[in-house]
Amino acid sequence: PATILGDIPEGQFVQGPATVSLDGAQGSVGPIPVPPGLNQVDVIVTLSYEATGSMVTTDCDNPFVRGDLSGDDVVNLGDMIGLLGFLFGFTPAPNPIDIADLNADGQTNLGDAIAGLQFLFNDGPPPAAPYPNPGCP
């Protein structure tokens, strides 16, 4: 539990939501009645939550999702268009270049665009790791 101290006018309520932050956790507080004659109240907040989803940790400075050239954490047709744009000199190289190496053969070429399109439209294998979560080569 965390204790939050604050001055509140006599007879007033703390109207929510009041944002509480403790080690990155957030929640809401209120309304809290204040007894007549008091202008300070101690509020004890107990934070509880249910974790959902996944947590990804990496040991590199620039984690990425292989094949996600747009950086939106989804590999889709737009990424393949971006890859073709890079391969034919219309767009700059992705950073890191490994983002575009969908088959992880150490080369970035038309084979990567074909692999990506087969994955998206022809039940081909997914991109090599790191995929689908961000990571490092």
Supply the CATH number for residue 72's domain.
1.10.1330.10
Statement to judge: residues 66 and 124 lie in one domain: yes
pLDDT value for 57: 52
Tokens 């507080």 locate to: 29
54, part of any domain: no
Contact 62, 96 (CB under 8 A): yes
- What the block records as the tokens of 86 is 């890079």
pLDDT value for 54: 52
Statement to judge: residues 29 and 65 lie in one domain: no
22: pLDDT confidence band, cut at 50, 70 and 90?
very low
Contact 14, 29 (CB under 8 A): yes
Q: Which residues, other chains included, contact 100 with Cβ-Cβ below 8 Å and sequence gap of 6+?
A: 67, 69, 83, 86, 93, 94, 108, 112
Q: Which residues, other chains included, contact 97 with Cβ-Cβ below 8 Å and sequence gap of 6+?
A: 108
Statement to judge: residues 29 and 88 lie in one domain: no
Contact 28, 8 (CB under 8 A): no
Statement to judge: residues 130 and 93 lie in one domain: yes
Tokens 């939050």 locate to: 4
Domain that holds residue 70: 61-137
Contact 59, 136 (CB under 8 A): yes
12: pLDDT confidence band, cut at 50, 70 and 90?
very low
14, part of any domain: yes
Q: How many CB atoms lie within 10 A of CB 68?
A: 23
- Reported pTM: 0.57
**Residue predicted with more confidence, 136 or 102:** 102
How many separate domains does the chain show?
Answer: 2
pLDDT value for 107: 96
State how far the Cα of 82 lies from the Cα of 87, in Å rounded to an integer. 9
50, part of any domain: no
13, part of any domain: yes
Statement to judge: residues 32 and 97 lie in one domain: no
User: What is the tens place of the pLDDT at every residue in 54-95?
Assistant: 554 556 778 899 999 999 989 999 999 999 999 999 999 999
